[in-house]
Chains A and B, each alone.
Chain A
Amino acid sequence: AQTVTQSQPEMSVQEAETVTLSCTYDTSESDYYLFWYKQPPSRQMILVIRQEAYKQQNATENRFSVNFQKAAKSFSLKISDSQLGDAAMYFCAYRSDNNDMRFGAGTRLTVKP
């Protein structure tokens, strides 16, 4: 079965600095999508960024970017110019066409003013 691993239960970053959250996954599929979701204290799940496995170019959304290493099955999230509003739980997720949807255990990000 596919698994998603987030090895950092907690991370902290100084406001305006850059932080990278790690994610690795295991799959035998060739086509799949990877996602990062943000869950603030409101508990709402908010899509931050997504990456198609067949695209070599790393996805970018404003201050959020990913480092996708398909061979290494690694999908890290970089947050630049961190803001207080970035403080949240972040979940890495994997989805394949056979409806296999997997989430990591999450990384709690603290932003220090």
Chain B
Amino acid sequence: EAQVTQNPRYLITVTGKKLTVTCSQNMNHEYMSWYRQDPGLGLRQIYYSMNVEVTDKGDVPEGYKVSRKEKRNFPLILESPSPNQTSLYFCASSFRGFSTDTQYFGPGTRLTVL
């Protein structure tokens, strides 16, 4: 089954404790992206990757890191989480990064930073 998976689905952590949210897709997609969803703001793009070893900042990259060492994986790293990073996070992928390409979303990760 074609899908985007994220782990963990729920995470409660404390300020400053490094964490990684994994994202994997099995569709051989070149493009992958991370979003955060906050009430009243919709989804905002954090980082995206057009292909292996190619990443770029989205609208809200501060406090986040990403890497794209393999085509299927695109982990989101919070080196020193803060309470303002409490949010719902989505990973998405598409065949390429063109407007014609539909994005497929993972199930979301609910992160709480205390």
Contacts and interface: CB of A to CB of B under 8 A. Distances in A.
Contacts of A50: 102
A96 interface: yes
Contacts of B42: 4, 6, 91, 103-106
Interface string A44-69: 11010010100000000000000000
Nearest to A95: B99
A43 B108 contact: yes
Interface residues of B, number: 24
Given A91-B42, A91-B43, A43 B88 contact: yes
B29 interface: no
Contact of B99 (A6, A97, A104, A105): A97
22 contacts: A31-B99, A33-B99, A37-B105, A43-B88, A43-B107, A43-B108, A44-B107, A45-B105, A47-B102, A47-B103, A50-B102, A93-B43, A99-B50, A99-B97, A101-B33, A101-B45, A101-B48, A103-B35, A103-B43, A104-B42, A105-B40, A106-B42
B41 interface: yes
Contacts of B84: none
Nearest to A93: B43
A33 B43 contact: no
A93 B40 CA distance: 15
Contact of B105 (A44, A96, A99, A104): A44
A45 B50 contact: no
